[in-house]
Each structure stands twice: as structure tokens, then as C-alpha cells.
Amino acid sequence: MPGITTERKAHFAAVKVAGAVLGLVSMLCGVSASAALSEAGFPAIPIRAESHPVEHQAIATNQVALVQYNSGHRSEAVKVWQSLAEQGDTEAQFTLAVLYNRGDGGVAKDMIEAVRWYRRAAEQGHVIAQYNLGVLYATGTGVARDLNAAAQWWRMAALQGHTEAQFNLGLYYAEGTGVKQDPAEAVKWWAIAAKQGYAAAQFNLGLMYMKGEGVDENQDEAVRLWRLSADQGFNQAITVLKVLHLTP
């Protein structure tokens, strides 16, 4: 890949002035990037052959409920999930939370109940529940807005490899939202998400390298990251490369 030539310095200066770290573009992943929580894994309940017999029985019961749900017997399915959730089954707890969020299966939409079940699942390590609970705290939906709590739940999900949580946690560190501002921590989390192919993280990480924030300035690395982001069709990266007269 060609380096940054002298004649492009003026373009880089312009990008440095105009470039701003991309915000929570995927904070609410799933159905909509701006209006829906993540529902990854719903309503499919995976069967794990290595499960403990008691857990395996719960998974099998979840599968029965899933068949009922998909065949139109949704109220019966909800009863099964409710029973399993009360017994501590994390997948059932997550499913109930999604149903309360949707107002589906004969369950009235109730974000307070959604928060309750997301929390129950999140406390047991359900990664998507942890991410969604962070979203709810960040937006003040069904719970009092608490940016520090949002960051804490995203950290838990990020440590389990959840890319959107890693991206959002990076943004909070970059801006000092809910946590003490720390550009190096922002770089750390965006780098982890970028390695997993998350285009927005690749773009923001490129900006950090270009500006030398939280990491040593490296314009070639910035361009490399923007190319990776642009290869996924990320418009901001494509635009920056065009400004620099570099092909995406």
C-alpha cells in the first residue's frame, strides 16, 4: 500500500480539523441501528450436547416452547418460558425480555419488565442481555439513565467478545462519558473490535492513528484501517479516502 506523500499533507490537515470520532452508530444493534435492542439468538434456542442433564432438559423444554411459538401458539410458549425463567434459565429470561420489549406473544409491552429479565439473564453472564441492559441504561429506557452503569454492562459484554459493546465502550472512553476520559482505553477497545472486522471501530481507530490520540501517530496505519472499513462499504471511510485522493 502506498504511503502518504507530501502533497497529501494538506488533505490530512483538513481531515484532522474536520474529523470527529464516529458516535454510537450501532449502539442499538439488531433490527434497527437506532431504535431496537439486539435480538440475536431469539427465538432460536441452541441445543448443546455437552450440557449437564438438568440444563439439557431445560434446553429441550425451550425447544418445545420455540416450536409452539413458531406454530402460532405463542401464549402457551410464553407460559413455558416464564416457568423456565423463574427457575433461572438464562435463555428463557432473555427471551422473556425480548417479548416484553416487543409486546409479543400475548405479553403487553413493558420495558420495566424487559429490564428486569435482561438483568436476570445478564447477571448470569448472558452476553446479549448484558449489551442490551447497557443500551437501556444509556438511553434511560425502562430504567433511570445511568451512563456509568451502561459502561459497566458494556464492559462485561465486551470482555465476552461482543463487538458493539466494545465499540460503545471505546466511544465512552474517547468522550469521557460514564467513565474517566482515556484515549488509550478507547484505542484498546476499538482495536479489539476492529480486529473482529467491525467497520465503525476500524474507522474510529483510523482517526485516532491519524490524530495521534491514545496511540502514536501513524498515517499509514490510519489509511490501512480506513481501507478495511471502506471495503465493507462504510461511507465515512470511503469519504475520507476520497478526500485524501486515495481509492477506497
Answer for the pair 111, 97: CB distance below 8 angstroms, yes or no.
no
Domains of the chain: 1-35+163-248 (1.25.40.10), 37-145 (1.25.40.10)
In three-state secondary structure terms, 247 is coil
| Grid cell digits, residue 109 | 409491552
pTM of the prediction? 0.80
Q: How far apart are CA 53 and CA 46, in angstroms?
A: 15
Give helix 183-195 / helix 163-175 axis angle, nearest 10°: 160
Please give the chain's pLDDT, 248 residues, in tens. 444 444 455 444 444 444 455 544 333 222 222 233 666 555 433 333 333 333 444 556 677 777 777 767 778 888 888 999 999 999 999 999 988 988 887 889 999 999 999 999 999 999 999 999 999 999 899 999 999 999 999 999 999 999 999 999 999 999 899 999 999 999 999 999 999 999 999 999 999 998 899 999 999 999 999 999 999 999 888 988 988 888 76
pLDDT at 244: 84
Residue 208 is placed in which grid cell?
A: 485516532
Residue with cell 429490564: 115
- 8 A C-beta contact, residue 206 and residue 12: no
Cell 459484554 belongs to residue: 157
Q: Which three cell numbers stand for residue 84?
A: 423456565
Residue with cell 499509514: 220
Nine cell digits for residue 101:
420489549
d(CA 191, CA 194): 5
Q: What is the dihedral of CA 100, 150, 129, 228, to 10 degrees?
A: 120
Question: Distance between CA atoms of 219 and 204, rounded to whole angstroms?
Answer: 13
d(CA 145, CA 139): 6
C-alpha cell at 62: 425451550
- In the prediction, which pLDDT does 40 show? 58
- pLDDT at residue number 4: 46
67, 60 contact by CB (below 8 A):
no
CA 241 to chain centre: 26
Residue at 104: amino acid letter: D
